[in-house]
A = this chain, B = another copy of it.
Amino acid sequence: MVDYKLLAALAAVVEHAGFERAAAALGLSQSAVSQRIKLLEARLGTAVLVRSAPPQATAAGQRLLNHVQQVRLLERDLQTDLPQMADAAGRTRLRVALNADSLATWWAAAVSAWCERERVLLDLQVEDQDVGLRRMRSGEVAACLCAAEQPVAGARSLLLGQMPYLAVASPAFVQRHFPQGVMAADVARIPAVVFGPDDRLQHRFVQQLGVTGEFDYHLCPSSEGFVRMLEAGVGWGMVPALQVTDELQSGRLLQLLPGQALQVPLYWHYWRSGGQLLAGLTDELVRVVPGLLAPA
């Protein structure tokens, strides 16, 4: 069989983003961790890590991490049947990639009871859909929540629901830029806030208004920072309706063009061979998420 001591060293260096912390987590010296990685590379005849800061898995290393993740999930099932096989800590770590807006809104409420019941520690990774699915393909994460439907090889995807997004801005911003009332044709002439280069929601909204061409925008890759930027009157932007319930009710934010929302689908991608634990999380999400996404 494979020497899992070597694979565990590789996984620890990637998960803890460094040799020193990996060594602390494994209760080994740093040189012992280095030796295990070198031995693994000697056996494979190829590098498994790029020694950057933080260290990154090569293609071969990613294939090994994929294997480690799957073995860990299967071990989890084994330990349910044979509790004496459980290691001391007793908590499983599950790595999931998800979009920032789900994490900023409904995610914690959906999974907290399940985490407590199953004694799972989550290792969450905020990624846009392309990167999230790529990390799933390479075995760095066990599941991925995103807007894309197409599953990667060996995985399934499930539609959990739709997240409505609204175009909002602060009252002062609306007053300054739309003293005569909000006109669709003017929305593209004032600065927006955009989450990142892959966030096309503002572009889609402007297109939906029938306006063509480029517009000015700030880039702000943080869900909460995004809402703060809108409140401070830096620009307008598309936010999940769930995230600004209070702000809209208190009047700290106003909806531009009420009735014009964008629906973003949420797909849950998970490995078919992910064991009972991942299947249980999938069942829990299918059960609770529709209620959390529905309008209050």
Contact = CB atoms under 8 A, between A and B. Distances in A.
B198 A228 contact: no
B130 A53 contact: yes
Interface string A196-237: 111000000000000000101111111111001101111000
A56 to B, nearest CB: 12
Chain A interface size range: 35 or more
A148 to B, nearest CB: 14
Given A108-B234, A130-B53, A234-B115, A121 B228 contact: no
Interface string A167-199: 000000000000000000000000100001110
A220 B91 contact: no
A216 B121 contact: yes
Contact of A224 (B24, B89, B223, B231): B223
B116 A224 contact: no
A112 B225 contact: no
A164 interface: no
Contacts of A124: 218-222, 225
Interface stretch (A14-22, A75-83, A274-282): A14-22
Contacts of A191: 91, 121
B232 A123 contact: no
A285 to B, nearest CB: 14
B197 A21 contact: yes
Interface stretch (A33-41, A43-51, A62-70, A99-107): A99-107
